């Protein structure tokens, strides 16, 4: 099995590329969804996150789920994102490892893709056979992030402020590109990204078959 890390800055298009790779035969898991699952009521991180960041992040009318928007406002607004990451990352990484081991047993010549924004920042890129970086200029990523926020009812100014806070907590694209084995440019039209993702999958499939 070929273990592939898929990373990139906020709003670079990681999820889009991950889905394109999945449609071409890869298995895909998303770190953000793992974290969300771990923080559900009854999940292993639920109580600790609330203890650390306060009852204000709990939805009162939604079975006590954690409001990730409120949590994000605290961790980025108060400069506590590193604290949250230190709590969440070990559990997320364990879940990823368990998932990849399961995929390897089920399909030994498969491609297992882990989509995560902070692979390089967390220093875990060595866990993967190949690291794929999604590149996109910051101004375009901000445009996409703000547009997505506005579609969800967030004021443009607030969305732009959150974008800048998230970017400040991530390594610049140059550092991630330097650590990557493969770079996919997602600054243009979707069709161009589809072509690149298809070509990358051909390369990865050959590597998986050769293992």
pLDDT in tens, the chain (211 residues): 999 999 999 999 999 999 999 999 999 999 999 999 999 999 999 999 999 999 999 998 778 999 998 999 899 889 899 999 999 999 999 999 999 999 999 999 999 999 999 999 999 999 999 999 999 999 999 999 999 999 989 999 999 999 999 999 899 999 999 999 999 999 999 999 999 999 999 999 999 999 7
Q: By C-alpha distance, which of 11, 2, 39, 9 is closest to 151?
A: 11
Number of helices (H), then strands (E), belonging to the chain: the values are: 9, 5
The answer to whether 62 and 8 are in contact (CB under 8 A) is no
Q: What is the DSSP string of 20-63?
A: HHHHTT-EEEEHHHHHHHHTSTTSTTHHHHHHHH-GGGB-TTTT
pLDDT at 69: 87
Q: 112: helix, coil or strand?
A: strand
List of domains in the chain: 2-210 (3.40.50.300)
Establish how many alpha carbons lie within 13 A of residue 43's alpha carbon, considering only the half-sphere containing its beta carbon.
21
CA–CA distance, 28 with 19 (Å, rounded to integer)? 8
Backbone angles phi, psi at 3, to 5 degrees: -95, 120
Reading the block at residue 3, the tokens are 């273990």
Q: How far is CA 126 from CA 146, 148, 209, in A?
A: 33, 32, 21
The answer to whether 23 and 15 are in contact (CB under 8 A) is no
Backbone angles phi, psi at 109, to 5 degrees: -110, 25
Q: Helical H runs in the chain?
A: 14-23, 31-38, 46-53, 68-77, 81-106, 138-151, 156-168, 173-179, 190-210
Q: Tens digits of per-residue pLDDT, 14-70?
A: 999 999 999 999 999 999 999 999 999 999 999 999 999 999 999 987 789 999 989
pLDDT at 77: 86
Q: What is the pTM of this model?
A: 0.93
């Amino acid at each position: 099995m070929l273990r592939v890390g898929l990373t990139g800055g906020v709003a670079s298009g990681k999820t889009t590329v991950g889905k394109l790779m999945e449609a071409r035969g890869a298995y895909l898991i998303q770190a953000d969804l793992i974290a969300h699952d771990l923080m559900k009521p009854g999940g292993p991180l639920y109580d600790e996150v609330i203890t650390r960041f306060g009852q204000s992040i709990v939805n009162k009318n939604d079975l006590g789920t954690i409001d990730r928007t409120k949590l994000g406002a605290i961790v980025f607004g108060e400069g506590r994102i590193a604290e949250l990451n230190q709590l969440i990352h070990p559990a997320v990484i364990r879940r990823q490892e368990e998932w990849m081991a399961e995929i390897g047993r089920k399909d030994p010549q498969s491609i297992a893709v882990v989509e995560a924004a902070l692979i390089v920042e967390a220093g875990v890129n060595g866990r993967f056979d190949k690291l794929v970086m999604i590149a996109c200029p910051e101004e375009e990523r901000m445009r996409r992030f703000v547009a997505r926020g506005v579609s969800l009812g967030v004021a443009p100014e607030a969305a732009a402020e959150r974008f800048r806070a998230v970017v400040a907590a991530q390594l610049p694209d140059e550092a991630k590109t330097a650590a990557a084995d493969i770079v996919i440019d997602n600054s243009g039209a979707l069709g161009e990204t589809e072509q690149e993702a298809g070509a990358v999958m051909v390369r990865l499939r050959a590597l998986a078959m050769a293992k």
